[in-house]
Structure 1
Amino acid sequence: MLLQIIPASPTKRNGTHALQITYPKSFLKLLLIGFALAMLPLLFAFGNAALYLDRLATQSSDAVTQAVQATRASRALVEQIAFMERSARQYFVLEDELLLENYEKAHEKFVDSWHDLDQLPMTSKQRLALSKLSAEEQALFQNVAQHSTESSSIEEIVGRFADLTVQAQDILDENNRQIDRESAILAETAERTQQIMLWQTLTLIPVALLVALMITFLVAQPIRRMDAAIRKLGEGDYSEPISIDGPGDLRNLGERLDWLRAQLNELDQQKQRFLRNVSHELKTPLTAIREGSELLSDEVGGPLTPQQREIAGILRESSLRLQKMIENLLSFTAAQFHAPQLNLETVDLTGLAEAILADYSLTISNKNINIQRDFFPTLIQADREKIHSVLDNLISNAVKYTSPSSSIRISITHQAHQAIIEVHDGGPGVMASDKAKLFEPFYRGDSAHESLVSGSGLGLSIAKEYVDAHGGEIILLPSERGARFRVTLPLKALTK
């Protein structure tokens, strides 16, 4: 068997018996088998219909042929009897031998017609009447041939012709009635054949559809598994091995996809190790840069000129941004290997937002940005470090993208057991093509701000990870100008 379904051994996963499908070696062969199986009921219906129609056509042809022959022979009997009667009457009057020869010729034609009619299928009643007619006609022929005025009366002989005519006419009428009966039987057979073909069609079409659905399922099942495997690869899920149960060529393709999954998994692990190692390596020299910039800003090495103080401020802001990027990398790599663990404590969102704004006070002052605060005292049970990272990413992006002399609106409120944080900047906003991938790691849209130290594209991704860990939600709201983010957090996060 090229295609069969057999019971498999009990599975370890659920302890139940599964069905194992044995596929052919080629996907093309599976399609051909499916097409053949789907067409088989229809071909059977067509063949059976052709057989019935051929049988009906044969019966019709035979019936028409027999009817024509029977009618023709019966009419010939009646006609020859009439001709023999006329010839006999003339012969008795004129006693001309030529008239007797005409009678004998008519007799021979009568005998030929009788033989033709006798060869046709007929009832026993018809055959008995036909035999009686032949016998009486033969006796009459003998009387006419041996006729003499002394032996028999002319009127008696002529009267016997009238009796033969009545018998021949009865045979003709019986043949006509037999033809009518055959026609009725033929019509009934045609109607019965039509009903049989209709019921066959109504029965076999669902069977063909059922076979087609079964083959469609067998064809679509490995394709759906392959589609699901490719989707997982596209989403970065390399944990589950890929196994495609189908025709041989699709199984080979599934093995190649599993090889690709293993390669991508190895590359992803190498990437994570690289990011983790690089982040740790960069953190040590960055600490020295931060301490040096802080010492310069505090004028530990001596008083600074206004220009030197501005340069020291730039160093301090750049080191802060670089530190934030490295912390994002470390947070991202940690989130990839372990689910975020929450250390819950009471967090004052308004105080936390003010502290973060103070960290960016120099940049805010240099760009002359107006901070519009709409703060309502809000306390939540959350992980302070992670919520700090969420707010820091949103506020730093807002400060980064907001145009000089523009404004940033920050709102913190709570309602219905939820805290709501909104950050609306005065920048160019988010392009429509970037919205779908805005929270994906390492994604930087076309509208990304160019600066001396470019962003890593991890801020919003990490913010979403931390918000999701608290059971909250972060979304981008529609806005006529600038980007408007909303963070919804439960007032009390549930630990998992």
Structure 2
Amino acid sequence: MAATSVQALLTLEHLAQLGRETAAQAITLTEQSQRLSERTLAMERSARQFLVLDDPLFRERYASAREEAAAALQLLNRATPHFAPQLADEWTAQADTAWQVLQAGKKRKRDGQAVVYRAFARMAQINDTLARESKTEIGSRNDALLDELERQRQLLGMLVIGAVLLAAVLAICFGFLLSRPLRRIERAIERLGDKRYDQTIVVGGPADTRRLGQQLDWLRQRLAELDADKERFLRHISHELKTPLAALREGVALLEDEVAGKLTSGQREITGILQHNTASLQTQIEDLLRYNTAAFDAQRLACSQVDLLALLHAVVDEQRLQWQARRLVVEVEADDDALVVQADRDKLATVLANLLSNAVRFSPEGGTIRFALSRAGRRARIDCIDQGLGVAPEDAARIFEPFYQGVRQATGARNGNGIGLSIVHEYIAAHNGRVALVPRPAGAHFQIELPL
């Protein structure tokens, strides 16, 4: 674009110069043609007066007018070199003829009047021809200026089109060069969001994107360190809590067995409360350890070919006692019974088991739980739908967060610790899949997609 602008500036300057030159030449041709006609008429008038009055003053006036006419003719000759020389020579010859008559004696002057009249008649014709040729020359130069203007306009048009095309090509090239680093940055951020810190982040492209890739890799390393510190902390604190908790449970058991003496009814009630809360605390500590282990194991997959339909039937059979105890019906549907994925079978089994146990806990007695297996393009889709209370709208955004419990809880059932769905999310993300809560008027609908 800069080159086009410079070219346009140079073109405008060139055209302006041509316009000034053409205008100056037109003025010169017009002025000198008019001056030649006027001086020729003055020469004729002086010659006629001299021939009648024989006064040398008129001959001098003739000579002076002739010099001025010759100067005008010379300028016309320079301005129109292709046609003026021949006419100028003839005009000069006729002027010399008249001058010779004016310098002769009286008798010669009387005999030369006809010669003078014929000379000036021819000079008048020459002047008219020069005037017409001057006008023609002015017109041709104007046409040449217009042609040059059109040529420069076309040249500028082609330069502008070329500049636009070049800018488009450069934009496409730069877009292509930047799109790959940006896609890598996007995938790197997605991996960081899914807590996959095992892959080094390398971003190419311009210096800015490479620097951003280095910063993201530093962030990956820092997050991995923090995650490892968190895991160590959870293991240590859980271990430290289990030791005194075991002593508490043992002490409560001894009190219930009346080893230290007979218990009153009030004391027995207190020991019952202690027994219930120590059991609940132990369950929570075990769930915490289980989630920590699941988050750690999600980064280490033992992949193999897994038949999803067979795995789904196996998980349903393993929990048969639980869902039959509540008189539930579990249905398994498959649009494609040959869906096979490359995955960790044990972790997928844990995912399906958590979804089923969650549905069993929230489904009303006599309800139906439906699993639907289907193909969605190059991905396998698993839908789990129950007839329970569903998920409250305010809980939908946080339903997969660890230890988060929604406002809707199953009546009469022990509240969970909110790690089942978070483990589902961890394991599915480790398989490059996705799990989502699908909006539904009644009941809960969880949908899993895994790459085939």
TM-score of the alignment, normalized to the shorter chain, above 0.5: yes
Is 1:330 the equivalent of 2:289?
yes
Question: How far apart are residue 287 of structure 1 and its match?
Answer: 5.5
Q: Give the letter for the 1:375 counterpart.
A: L
The DSSP-based 3-state class of the residue aligned with 1:157 is: helix
State the match for 2:77 in structure 1: 118
Aligned AA (2:15): L
Residue 85 (structure 1) aligns with: 44
Deviation, 1:327, is 2.9
- Listed one character per residue, the Cα deviations across residues 19-66 of structure 1 (whole Å, up to 9, x for unaligned) are xxxxxxxxxxxxxxxxxxxxxxx1111222222222222222212211
Q: Deviation digits for residues 441-496 of structure 1, max 9, x if unmatched?
A: 34568999xxxx9975424313556799999967375569xxx5346799xxx9x9
- The amino acid across from 2:292 in the alignment is T
1:255-285 Cα deviation digits (max 9, x unpaired): 3442332232122123223323444554565
Tell me which residue corresponds to 1:411: 367
Out of 133, 140, 145, which is 2:98 matched to?
140
Question: What runs of 5+ residues in structure 2 fail to find an aligned partner?
Answer: 303-310, 334-344, 374-381
Q: Return the alpha-carbon distance in structure 1 between the equivalents of residues 37 and 122 of structure 2.
A: 11
1:458 paired with 2:416, answer no
Partner of 1:160: 119
Pick closer, same or farther for the CA change 1:179–1:292 going to 2, 3 Å.
Answer: same
1:5-27 Cα offsets, whole Å, 9 max, x none, are: xxxxxxxxxxxxxxxxxxxxxxx
1:436 aligned counterpart, secondary structure? helix
Deviation, structure 1 residue 179: 1.8
Kindly tell me the number of residue pairs found equivalent between the two proteins. 414
Query: Would you say the 8 A contact 1:350–1:412 is kept in 2?
Result: no
Report SS of the residue matched to 2:106.
coil
Stretch moving more, 175-184 or 267-276 = 267-276
SS of equivalent to 1:149: helix
Bigger CA drift: 148-157 or 407-416? Answer: 407-416
Structure 1 residue corresponding to 2:329, chosen from 368, 376, 379: 376
Query: What CA deviation, in whole Å up to 9, does each residue of 1:135-188 have, x standing for no partner?
Result: 221232232233522463323322221111111211221221222222222222
Counterpart amino acid of 1:439?
F
Question: Are the aligned partners of 1:73 and 1:117 in contact in 2 as well (CA < 8 Å)?
Answer: yes
Aligned to 2:376: none
| Secondary structure of residue in 1 paired with 2:437 | strand
3-state DSSP of counterpart to 1:244: coil
The secondary structure found in structure 1 opposite 2:444 is strand
Amino acid at match of 2:321: G
Q: Alpha-carbon deviations, 1:178-236, whole Å to 9, x = none? A: 22222222222211221121112111211023224434554565555445434433432
How many Å separate the matches in 2 of 1:286 and 1:431?
A: 38
Q: Give the secondary structure class of the aligned counterpart of 1:127.
A: helix
Alpha-carbon distance in structure 1 between the residues aligned to 2:115 and 2:436: 126
Deviation (angstroms), 1:439: 0.4
Work out whether residues 430 and 447 of structure 1, in 8 Å CA contact, stay in contact via their aligned partners in 2. yes
Using the alignment, how far apart are the partners of 1:412 and 1:211 within structure 2?
60
Counterparts in 2 of 1:444 and 1:206: CA distance versus 1, 3 Å: farther
Distance 1:247 1:416 in 2: 47
The range that moved more, 292-301 or 438-447, is 292-301
Query: 1:77 Cα deviation (Å)?
Result: 1.6
Q: Give the equivalent residue in structure 1 for 2:128.
A: 169
Q: 1:290 to 1:463 in 2, by over 3 A?
A: farther
The whole-number CA distance in structure 1 between the counterparts of 2:240 and 2:80 is 111
Name the amino acid aligned to 1:91.
F
Q: 1:57 aligns with which of 8, 12, 16?
A: 16
C-alpha distance in 1 between matches for 2:123 and 2:65:
14
Q: Tell me, what secondary structure is at the counterpart of 1:47? A: helix
Structure 2 residue 138 is matched with structure 1 residue 179: yes
d(CA) in 1 for partners of 2:118, 2:11: 52
Q: Deviations over 1:235-263 (max 9, x none)?
A: 32211112333555654554344233223
1:18 aligns with none
CA displacement at 1:69 relative to structure 2: 0.9
Q: What TM-score does the superposition give when structure 2 sets the normalisation length?
A: 0.73
The 8 Å contact of residues 375 and 411 in structure 1, kept in 2 or not, is answered as yes
Distance 2:223 2:192 in 1: 8
Secondary structure in structure 2 of the residue aligned to 1:424: coil
Alpha-carbon distance change, 221 to 143 in structure 1, aligned in 2, over 3 angstroms: farther
* Structure in which a larger fraction of residues adopt helix: 2
Matches of 1:267 and 1:347, distance apart in 2: 40
1:422 matches 2:386 = yes
Q: Could you tell me the TM-score, scaled by structure 1's length?
A: 0.68
